[in-house]
Structure 1
Amino acid sequence: MNIIVVGSTNMDLVYLVPHIVKAGETLHSTKHELFFGGKGANQAVTAGQLGANVDFVGNVGADDFGEQIIQNLQDKGVNTAAVQRVGMTGQAIIQLADSGENSIVLFPGANFLVTPEQIEENTERIASSDVLLLQLEIPMPAVETAANIASQKNVKIILNPAPAQQISDSLLSKVSILTPNETELAILTGLKTETEEDLFQACSLLLQKGVGAVVVTLGAKGAYYMNHYEHGHVQANKVIAKDTTGAGDAFNGALTVGLCQGNSLKDSILYASTVSAYVVTQMGAQPSIPSSFHVNNI
C-alpha cells in the first residue's frame, strides 16, 4: 500500500466554547489546546497508522511549529523527506462547542507556498505510488500539477474537494474517486443535495464529467456513493462525538487504505466509517489510532 499525500499541514489552536460564537458576540473559552492538523497531514497520519506506506509532499514553516509537525508525522508512520520548511507554519483557529460542532478559520502560511515546481520535483515519488490523495488547502496549480503527473503515470487519484471551491472539468476528468460533503457537492454541481434523489442527480453529473466514483460524506447520516455500476447509502457508526474536527480527513485516509487493499468501494466506505467514528470520540484531528483498526486486523 504505497500512498502519496500532497497537501497541507497546520497547527490547530483549539478553543473550547459553550457554543459557536455569533456575529458581534464575545465569548469566554473554557480551555485552549494545541493539536496537529491540516487536511493533508490528517489524512496522511490516518493512513500511516492504518498500515500504509505514506509519503507526504507539502510545506511547514521554518519555526518551532514546523519542527513539531515534522516530528509528529514521522512518529505516526509518514515519510517526510519531501516536506519543505519555508515561511510560517499554517494554523487553524478552531472553536469547539460543547455539542461537538466546530467552526474553523484557516491561516494558510507555508501551505500557500507549495508550487508546481515543488510537485514536479517529486514526480518519481508520485509515479511509484498506488494512490495519490489530494485536498484543496494548497494552491490549485500545485494540485493540478500533481493530478497531471499521476494521470500520466496511471496512478489512481482520490480528491477530497475541501475547502469547497470550483474545480475545472479537466481536473475532475482525472479523478478516480471524489469525496465531497453535501455542501461541497452542491458547490461543484450547482444542484441541491437535500434528498437521496438530489444526491443521485448531483453524483450522476460528476460521473458524466469523467469522475470514476463519488463518495459523499454525510456526517452522522453516513455516506452516499455512486460509480458507473452501483449506488447506495452506508449508515454511520453511532458514537458520542467529542470532537468532529478531522472526521472527514480520517474517513479519506481510511478509505484510501481500504481501496489499496483491494476491497470494494462499499467495503472501503464501511471501514472508513468505522475509523472516522473512532476519531470523533477523541480530541484533535490526529489522535493515536489503536492497532485494532489496522487494516490487517479488521
Structure 2
Amino acid sequence: MPTPLNDDEETMTRVLVVGSINMDLVVEAERYPRLGETLFGERFASYPGGKGANQAVAAARLGAQVSLLGCVGRDMFGSQLKDALRAEGVDISRLREADVATGLATITLAEGDNAIVVVPGANHQLLPQHLDQDEQAFRDADVVLAQMEVPLATVERAAELAERHGKPFLLNPAPARSLPPELLARTALLTPNEHELALALDADGGDWQALLRRLPGRVAMTRGKDGAYFCRADGGLHHQPGFTVSVVDSTGAGDTFNGALAAFWPQGIEAAMALACAAAALSVTCSGAQSGMPTLAALQDMMKEQA
C-alpha cells in the first residue's frame, strides 16, 4: 500500500501550480427561463473555483507545499479568492492583479442539468513574461502542474521553464483542445479523460488504449468510477481501479485527482495514481469542489481501511 506524505516540511512535495482562479456563482431554479423571461430562483451560492486554484487546494490539503502562479482582478472577488487560498495554506505571494474583472463562472442548475458561462477575465492576463519574472518559482519546485484555463502561450512557457530547470511538468488538458507537439514533448505526464485524450492528440476518436500507447510512460487517463489507466514505457497498461463510495457531488473530482498526483509524485506514478484515485473518490462523498476535497488525515484513514 502506498504511504501518504506526512506533515514534516522536509518531506513535503513542493508543487508549483500555474493556472486559473475563478469565483463560481451558482443559481438553482425549478427550470431554465425562456428567452426574455425572468424567473425567481430557489437558491444562490458562491464558491471559490478555477482549475488552478482547485488543484492547488487539493495538493495543499494532502500535505504538499503549494505555490500558485495566477492572476485575479482588483475587485471584491479577487480579494475573497486570495483569502480563501491563504486559509488553505497555499502560497499566493506570486499571484498577480490585473485591471480587469476576476475570472468567474455563472452556473444555473435546473431540471437535473446545468448551464455554465465562464468569463476568463484576469486569467487571460497571465502571460509568458510573468512566468519569466517568477522563474525562481520553477527552480524551487519539485513538480509543476498546469491546466488549460490560462492562455496556451503561458502553458507552453511553463513547460519550457520546467524543462529548463529539470522539473517534471504535469498537464491536465482541460478544457480539451489539440495540443502542439512541442508542448506534448515537454510534458512528463498528461492527465486527460478519454474525450480530452483524443482532442489533445488531434485524433478522430478511435481506441483509447491505442492513443495511450502513442505516449508510453507519459499519460494517466481517468475514467470516472472505473479509476485511471497508465501506459508504461514498455507499452504495458496499468489499471488503477476506482474506489467504491456513495456519490454526493462529483464536482472537483478531476481536480482532486490532479492535485493528488502532484502531491504524491515522488512516490512513483503507480503509487501516486492509487492515492489520487482514493482522494478523488473521497471528494465525491461531499458537496462542492474545494469544500469536498479531502485532508491528508482522511486519505490516510481510507488507505488503512483498504489495506
- TM-score normalised by structure 2 residue count: 0.85
Change (3 A) 1:79 1:23: same
TM superposition shift of 1:85? 1.3
* Distance in 1 between residues matched to 2:208 and 2:126, nearest whole Å: 33
Aligned counterpart, 2:289: 285
Aligned counterpart, 1:163: 175
* Distance in 1 between residues matched to 2:208 and 2:277, nearest whole Å: 19
Q: Which moved more, 1:242-251 or 1:167-176?
A: 242-251
Q: Cα deviations across residues 33-72 of structure 1 (Å, max 9, x unaligned)?
A: 1110000000001111111111100001110110011111
Aligned counterpart, 2:220: 215
TM superposition shift of 1:128? 1.4
TM superposition shift of 1:95? 3.9
Aligned counterpart, 1:267: 271
Alignment of 1:83-102 (within 5 A): 83-86=95-98, 87-96=100-109
**Structure 1 unaligned spans of 5+:** none
TM superposition shift of 1:157? 0.5
Q: Secondary structure of 2:44's partner? A: strand
* Distance in 1 between residues matched to 2:142 and 2:294, nearest whole Å: 23
Sequence identity of aligned pairs in percent? 36
Q: 78, 92, 99: which is aligned to 1:66?
A: 78
- Please say if 1:32 is aligned against 2:48: no
TM superposition shift of 1:24? 7.0
Aligned counterpart, 2:209: 200
Q: Secondary structure of 2:138's partner? A: helix
* Distance in 2 between residues matched to 1:277 and 1:105, nearest whole Å: 27
**Runs of 4+ residues over 6 Å off in structure 1:** 22-28
Paired residues of 1:131 and 1:155 also in contact (CA < 8 A): yes
Letter paired with 1:88: A
Letter paired with 1:266: E
* Distance in 2 between residues matched to 1:221 and 1:73, nearest whole Å: 31
Paired residues of 1:36 and 1:284 also in contact (CA < 8 A): no
* Distance in 1 between residues matched to 2:87 and 2:54, nearest whole Å: 13
TM superposition shift of 1:166? 1.2
Letter paired with 2:240: V
* Distance in 1 between residues matched to 2:83 and 2:228, nearest whole Å: 33
Change (3 A) 1:296 1:116: farther
Provide the alpha-carbon RMSD of the alignment.
2.4
Change (3 A) 1:30 1:244: farther
- Please say if 1:125 is aligned against 2:137: yes
Paired residues of 2:279 and 2:299 also in contact (CA < 8 A): no
Change (3 A) 1:253 1:98: farther
TM superposition shift of 1:94? 2.5
Aligned counterpart, 1:251: 257
Letter paired with 1:271: L
Change (3 A) 1:16 1:234: farther
* Distance in 2 between residues matched to 1:205 and 1:128, nearest whole Å: 31
Aligned counterpart, 2:229: 224
TM superposition shift of 1:154? 0.5
TM superposition shift of 1:235? 2.0
Q: Cα deviations across residues 75-105 of structure 1 (Å, max 9, x unaligned)?
A: 1110001001111110112245686x65533
TM superposition shift of 1:32? 1.7
**Structure 2 unaligned spans of 5+:** 1-12
Alignment of 1:111-190 (within 5 A): 111-189=123-201, 190=203
* Distance in 2 between residues matched to 1:265 and 1:140, nearest whole Å: 26
- Please say if 1:51 is aligned against 2:56: no
Aligned counterpart, 2:6: none
Change (3 A) 1:112 1:162: same
Change (3 A) 1:292 1:199: same
Letter paired with 2:191: T
Change (3 A) 1:6 1:25: same
Letter paired with 2:230: Y
Higher alpha-carbon Rg: 2
